[in-house]
Structure 1
Amino acid sequence: MKKVLYIVFYYPPIGGSGVHRGVKFTRYLPEFNWDSVVLTPDPKLIKQPKDYSLLNEVSPEQKIHHFFTLDARWLFKIFWGLKLPQVVNWLNYHIFKPDADILALPFLRFKISQLIKKYKIDLIFISGPPFSLMLNVLWLKKKYPLPVIVDFRDDWSMGQSRLDNPPPESFRKYEVNLEHQVLSKADKVIVANEAIKNNFLSLHPDLSAEHFVVITNGYDEKDFQKVFPPRETEKDKLQIVYIGSLYGRRQPGIVWQVLIDLVEQRKINPDKISIHLYGPNYRSFVFNGFENNKILEKMVNLHPYLPHSQVPRVMSQADVLWLFIGSGPKSDAISTGKIFEYMRSGKPIWAVINPQGIAADILKSSGLAFIADNENPDEIASSLVNLYKNWQEGKLTVQPNWDYIHSFERRRLTKKLAEVFEQTLTNVNNNNFYTSHQSLNGQS
């Protein structure tokens, strides 16, 4: 079996949406003749929610090594508590470049060198964010004759956080240049959706489209094998479920206003609709501007972070799954990982998103989506009333396009990743042989 060193910041028992891609890749790579060695930070040092149920998805044979890091988020928490976000911004844009996890690099590189030697690594695979991990590409290509592939789960310099909180121009130029170096030095670049690829190509036109491979997020069929009974509560209500975090531009104020208006117009009955949000969400953010609204208090319920093992049950017992992506620059490039598990559930999906974006493109072929423009209150209201009336009349049914949905199964996606590994390894080995041969001829 060939060996890949997989450098990833978020891995069990760390929880959250960014973890699942790495867990599923490492779970299925051995089926395609690749044995992965995971290098990830010591979870005790990371200020991230933990989901110990995810450890059940990691093979007992999986090799996992940890590196030491200094997580600046503990420091940031102090400044946020003191209501000094400007200090956090200054540190991020002047000290921690490209991000706060740059502090891990010395410790990480020491472990990389150890593991390459110990396991006779054939290929290195680096996943981000955080994007400071990507800087290892430049170091690795100077130090080792190994292929290096990078995986972008999100956009980097054109990502949501950068666009919503623009950095100083000097930082912007520095980061774009750094991004270009990483992209050009990597032997292959994998991205989680087509929009990320297009953003990279528009910003770095000297790179070729063939340098990039799109491997989306997906769902694991094993997570959906259990059959769950119908829910025992709220049987007389239309139950709408949102799973995940609301943060940044994902503040659903436009949806809350629509709900209030529809109730006041008597187009929906607040006693017949129940909305449940599962995730590490802050009430003050979720209901910003609507904190004491009696209508929302009756209809909307916040729940804590849901262990991933329980997600299929909650989805199966919902009437409708809610997808919300806030409006703003480059919102068309956001797809979110939950979209694929939503589709596999076979439930109707109420998607309040950019109708021209990548998420809408993915959903349109599923046979499940009720899409509403995230900037158009009338569309949001119309789609919700449509769902509500169909439910009242017993006609809330969908026709899932299972052939299409199954194309996002994690095993299939991992097979594609293994094929990229094989092709890249062959290309790099051939190039190294050619370079070595040319060098020998030049010396003779």
Structure 2
Amino acid sequence: MPKKVLIVLYYWPPAGGPGVQRWLKFVKYLPEFGIEPIVYAPQNPNYPLLDESLLDEIPPSIQVIKQPIFEPYAAAKLFSKAKTETISSGIIQKEKKQSSLEKAMLFIRGNFFIPDARKFWVKPSVKFLKDFIIKEAIETVITTGPPHSLHLIGLQLKQALGVRWIADFRDPWTTIGYHQELKLTQKNKAKHLALEKQVLQEADTVIVTSFTTQKEFSAKTNRPVITITNGFDGEVESENVQLDKKFTISHIGSLLSKRNPEVLWKVLSDLCMEHTDFKKAFQLQLIGKVSEEVLEDLKAYDLVDNYTYLGYVKYSLINDYQKSSQVLLLIEIDSEITQGIIPGKLFEYLKSNRPILAIGPENWDVGAVLKKTQRDPFLLHEDYEGLKERILNYFNRYLSHQLEVKKASIAAYHRKELTSQLASVLHKGS
């Protein structure tokens, strides 16, 4: 008899973006390990990105339960639809560029909706799920955040029913970059910290996606804290892929204002001025939401003729862009608090078998993954010379049709292998 596990989540198809992929893939493979996943999701969510193609990836045998959710973002759109969607998707401009409306919305978001704007789903969800859990004889509940308000659902279900509860953190809580932008009062900072501490101390097991977050959380709780990274699905691309004729450097995913790699734009601008053949061949390809500040900088560095901005592209088409690009660009904010962020797209990049140009903070966890898979090490934001040398190396190899990557196994990051790790955690508590 398969073991029933209830998974409480917010991002579920037709939600687009990276937040949906982790649990969509876990749900796909869990039945192969003797686990029957039951998904609990909002009925009328306010997703910043939609991707209807992901509906086709939901296994038909999976039970999905949906209940209504009230979200203040819907009301906020009456005042400013564009600003609301921008903030809810995580694109926050530097403070000096924020309008009075943006500053007010960030203050309200941070101080009136603790831990986040989905907090109103907690009470009705607990009420509904208590009866459902008893009826279905469910012994284990998993909550995944952000939004971290969903962990309060798990907390209250554990307190009410004594069920086993696993809290999955796709991102940290109080140390995530955008948390610092919410203009929190000292009192409300303390509320966030207290809720985080309670969740970490009362969950039976905590799962995180990076080594730094595991270390951070382990210092805050005596509960087991386990790292299960994100990963890739499907087969690794073969060598016989038709590559772009241009020297394309592609960034896939959101490019936020604080992630803006000005040193890279400077390097690319200088290379275009110094090498006529580079300027003719080079094409920067941006796929996903990009902040206005990034686009302004590309113009300022005279790269307008050398970039294309495609906006959000359906997940089902992303692989075509990845595998045909000459180089894939991975960027993280240059900050100590982003050392533990391992973007999900890193593993999709690995699957594509293309060189990865990674730029991030010192001691970035991504470095361990790149080393394990024998890829080029990441570079620091201030490393102008290193970036210039690396890009020129890639370009010269491109010219001689030798721009390939080392053949190293990435099987440890396949979604099925990662699901086997999750299944081991679930069976261990049986």
Normalised TM-score (structure 1): 0.87
Contact 1:315–1:345 under 8 Å retained in 2:
yes
Please give the alpha-carbon distance, in whole angstroms, between the structure 2 residues aligned to 1:67 and 1:289. 43
Matching of residue 246 in structure 1 with residue 255 in structure 2 = yes
Identity %: 27
Query: Is the 8 Å Cα contact of residues 166 and 203 (structure 2) preserved in structure 1?
Result: yes
8 A Cα contact 1:124 1:146, kept in partner: yes
Paired residues for 1:359-374 under 5 Å: 359-369=366-376, 371-374=378-381
Structure 2 contact 145–151 (Cα < 8 Å) conserved: yes
Contact 1:353 1:373 in 2 (8 A): yes
Residues 368, 76 of structure 1: alpha-carbon distance in 2 compared, 3 angstrom cutoff: farther
1:217 aligns with 2:236: no
After superposition, the C-alpha distances for 1:351-403 in whole angstroms (9 at most, x for unaligned) are: 1122521011211222233522123222222221221122223332221311x
1:154 aligns with 2:171: yes
* Paired residue type of 1:39: Y
Name 1:4's counterpart in structure 2: 5
- Going from structure 1 to structure 2, the CA distance change for 1:346 and 1:136 (only over 3 Å counts) comes to same
Counterpart of 1:3, as a letter, is K
> Given that residues 6 and 140 in structure 2 are in contact (C-alpha distance below 8 angstroms), is that contact kept between their aligned partners in structure 1?
yes
* Residue number in structure 2 paired with 1:23: 24
Partner of 2:88: none
Alignment of structure 1 residues 26-425 onto 2, 5 Å? 26-42=27-43, 44-77=44-77, 78-79=79-80, 80=83, 83-165=100-182, 167-202=184-219, 204=220, 207-208=221-222, 211-221=224-234, 229-231=241-243, 235=245, 237-266=246-275, 269-282=278-291, 284-291=292-299, 293=301, 295-369=302-376, 371-402=378-409, 405-424=410-429
Question: Which residue of the partner structure matches residue 431 of structure 1?
Answer: none
> Judging changes above 3 Å, is the alpha-carbon distance between structure 1 residues 329 and 225 closer, same or farther for their aligned structure 2 residues?
closer
Measure, in 1, the Cα distance between the counterparts of 2:318 and 2:200. 35
> Do 2:250 and 2:322's aligned partners in 1 also have CA atoms closer than 8 Å?
yes
> Match of 1:238, as an amino acid?
F
Shift of 1:33: 0.8
Matches of 1:191 and 1:21, distance apart in 2: 12
How many corresponding residue pairs? Answer: 412
Cα pair 2:217 2:225 within 8 Å, conserved: no
RMSD value, Cα:
2.2
Task: Give the residue type in structure 2 aligned to 1:327.
Answer: D
Q: Which amino acid aligns with 2:242?
A: P
Determine if contact 1:325/1:374 at 8 Å carries over to the other structure.
no
**1:338 maps to amino acid:** K
Within 1, Cα distance between the matches of 2:279 and 2:66? 50
Tell me, what secondary structure is at the counterpart of 2:417? Answer: helix
Instruction: Give yes or no for contact 2:329–2:358 (8 Å, CA) kept in 1.
Output: yes
| Rg larger in structure | 1
Q: Residues 261 and 399 from structure 1, CA distance in 2 versus in 1: closer, same or farther, beyond 3 angstroms?
A: same
Contact 1:228/1:313 (<8 A) preserved:
no
After superposition, the Cα gap between the structure-2 partners of 1:303 and 1:370, relative to the gap in structure 1 and judged at 3 Å, is: farther
- Structure 1 residue identity aligned to 2:48: Q
Tell me, in whole angstroms, the C-alpha distance in 2 between the residues paired with 1:329 and 1:165.
18
The runs of 5 or more residues in structure 1 that have no matched partner are 427-444
Deviation at 1:187, TM superposition (A): 0.5
Q: 1:389 and 1:75 mapped to 2: Cα distance? A: 53
**Pair 1:387–1:251, CA change in 2 (3 A):** same
CA distance in 2, matches of 1:371, 1:391: 20
- Per the alignment, in what secondary structure is the counterpart of residue 285 of structure 2? strand
Task: Check 1:361–1:226 CA distance in 2 against 1; reply closer, same or farther (3 A cut).
Answer: closer
Q: For the residues of structure 1 that align with 2:281 and 2:362, how far apart are their CA atoms?
A: 28
Indicate conservation of the 8 Å contact 2:286/2:309, yes or no: yes
Contact preservation (8 Å) 1:253, 1:288 = no
Distance 2:148 2:240 in 1: 39
Q: What is the CA-CA distance between 1:244 and the residue it aligns to?
A: 0.8
* Contact 2:145 2:168 survives alignment (8 Å): yes
